[in-house]
Amino acid sequence: MLKALIAFGGMDVREDQLIDALWPDAEGDTARISFKTTLHRLRQLLARDDAILHREGRVSLDRRYCWTDVWAFEELLDSAEQASLEKAVALYRGHFLADDEDKPWAISTRELLKRKFVLAVSKQGERAEDKKLWIKATAAYERGLEIDDLAEEFYQQLMACYLKLGKRADAIKVYKRCKSVLAANLGIEPSEETEGIYKTIAGQ
């Protein structure tokens, strides 16, 4: 229930939404009983009844007592400061509920946060590139690939940075790594854009 509550935003989540997500096959009264029982147990686990508010058919985490990395990540992204952007990227240590891939209610939030992470890393790297801080930029893109090695844009940006550093061999290694990862995980070839960057690097 806590996972689903956070996936739905953690604030003013409809009781019916939680019930449909967690007990899709249960009938009305049975589902309501399961909801109330689970909510009671969750409050016991959190050791505070008021950590979770349940009013007028809606459920919320009380921010006075609850903290989630999802909230912190998004709040840091809302700041225009470079330091906040870097903190946000550092805070993101893996995709949202990665061990719950079979839970359809987690997909939307997972994909949204993933897109925000990719954009944050790209922005961090681009800011470093604008200042010609190529090593710092490569570190940002490598950090991105540690978390999401299927983000092809990180490979593209990393190849370009290594080329700026005069490290042609390293840029080619990044391409080969990209090609191998995409083939192994998705059964696809790199995009035309990636291939174009590689051909430029390889002098083809």
Whole-number Cα distances in Å, 4 to 63, 96, 193: 17, 11, 38
Q: Enter the pTM of the model.
A: 0.88
pLDDT, position 204: 58
- Single out the residue of 124, 117, 54 nearest to residue 82, CA to CA: 124
CB 70 within 8 A of CB 88: no
In this predicted structure, the answer to whether residue 80 has a pLDDT above a threshold of 80 is: no
Q: Give the pLDDT mean for 58-67.
A: 94
Instruction: Pick the range with the lowest mean pLDDT from 70-84, 147-161, 188-202.
Output: 70-84
